[in-house]
């Protein structure tokens, strides 16, 4: 029912030229594949060239890593939703833990961005996840509920259906330490239950929830076959076309 969505979050890696050669290699690797929806999320500067390439590849869409919520104005260094739409960007990652931790983004700010993205017909990939300290204190449910309620405040059910949630435990990002499939499934089920409370059960059942945090070709299949895991947000392993293609293939329906 929920089509799997596998996204490559390149973070601050890959020039535009490197992105173009990645896409050439990925096309070769994915020849016989028609499974999941693929989203390539490069740096802002690579969006124009990748947009041209991706517009010709069915099943692959373009995403951005961040945006500012105002449509224009004196916000030096920021990029608006409208600017992203100019390159046919379909998705935008919001509330990534690197933005929350390094750049101090709060649920309130993320909520403004989520609303501005919808107003511009961009689909947010909203990231939530607990730190190691919070998990060790058994507080991950509390943290996830707070992030979801804060970041999704004021959205209607229709907008929720056009939103993807990415569960990314901070302790698993870039550390090589993945959540076990059981830990991830448990958190995803909790996220879906919380969405049912905020919206309604039918909406919650349709929302796609990605897992992110050290997803690699050798752990992707087990994670992606959990009942509430509908895709992956891949950082490190998405920089290599072969690894990324293997993760996409792991999402294939049996």
Q: Least distance to ligand PGA from the beta carbon of 214, Å? A: 4
Clarify whether 29 is annotated catalytic.
Answer: no
Residue whose token pair is 């004196």: 74
Q: Least distance to ligand PGA from the beta carbon of 97, Å? A: 7
Task: Tell me which residue has its CB nearest to ligand PGA.
Answer: 235
Q: Least distance to ligand PGA from the beta carbon of 238, Å? A: 7
- Among residues 124 and 235, whose Cβ is nearest to ligand PGA? 235
Q: Which residues pair with 94 in a beta bridge?
A: 126
- Among residues 100 and 140, whose Cβ is nearest to ligand PGA? 100
Q: Least distance to ligand PGA from the beta carbon of 210, Å? A: 9
Q: Name the catalytic one among 105, 130, 134, 168.
A: 168
- Among residues 168 and 228, whose Cβ is nearest to ligand PGA? 168
CA distance 124 to 228: 19
- Among residues 19 and 235, whose Cβ is nearest to ligand PGA? 235
The torsion angles phi and psi of 86, rounded to 5 degrees, stand at: -55, -25
Helices (H), ranges, the chain: 16-29, 47-54, 81-85, 97-102, 107-119, 132-136, 140-151, 157-161, 181-198, 201-206, 217-224, 241-250
Closest C-alpha among 110, 148, 113 to residue 129:
148
Q: Least distance to ligand PGA from the beta carbon of 184, Å? A: 13
Neighbours of 105 (CB within 10 A): 19
Clarify whether 168 is annotated catalytic.
Answer: yes
Residue whose token pair is 């960007």: 89
- Among residues 70 and 222, whose Cβ is nearest to ligand PGA? 222
Q: Name the catalytic one among 37, 69, 96, 105.
A: 96
Hey, is 120 helix, strand or coil? Answer: coil
What lies within 8 Å, CB to CB, of 9 at 6+ separation is 41, 65, 93, 96, 212, 233, 234, 235, 238
Residues that bind ligand PGA (CB under 6 A): 9, 168, 173-174, 212-215, 233-237
Residues marked as catalytic: 96, 168
């Amino acid at each position: 029912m929920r089509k799997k969505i596998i996204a490559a979050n390149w973070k601050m890696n890959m020039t535009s030229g490197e992105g173009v050669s990645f896409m050439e290699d990925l096309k070769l690797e994915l020849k016989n594949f028609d499974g999941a929806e693929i989203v390539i999320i490069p740096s802002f500067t690579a969006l124009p060239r990748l947009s041209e390439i991706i517009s010709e590849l069915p099943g692959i869409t373009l995403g951005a890593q961040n945006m500012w919520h105002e449509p224009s104005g004196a916000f030096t260094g920021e990029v608006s939703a409208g600017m992203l739409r100019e390159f046919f960007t379909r998705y935008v990652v919001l509330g990534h833990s690197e933005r929350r931790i390094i750049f101090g983004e709060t649920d309130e700010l993320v909520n403004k961005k989520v609303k501005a993205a919808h107003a511009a017909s961009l689909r947010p990939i909203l990231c939530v996840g607990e730190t190691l300290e919070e998990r060790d204190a058994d507080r991950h449910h509390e943290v996830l509920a707070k992030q979801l309620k804060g970041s999704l405040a004021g959205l209607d059910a229709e907008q929720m259906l056009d939103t993807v949630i990415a569960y990314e435990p901070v302790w698993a990002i870039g550390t090589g330490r993945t959540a076990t499939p059981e830990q991830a499934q448990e958190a995803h089920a909790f996220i879906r239950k919380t969405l049912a409370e905020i919206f309604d059960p039918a909406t919650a059942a349709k929302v796609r929830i990605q897992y992110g945090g050290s997803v690699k070709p050798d752990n992707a299949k087990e994670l992606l076959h959990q009942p509430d895991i509908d895709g992956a947000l891949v950082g490190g392993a998405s920089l290599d076309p072969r690894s990324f293609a293997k993760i996409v293939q792991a999402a294939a329906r049996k």
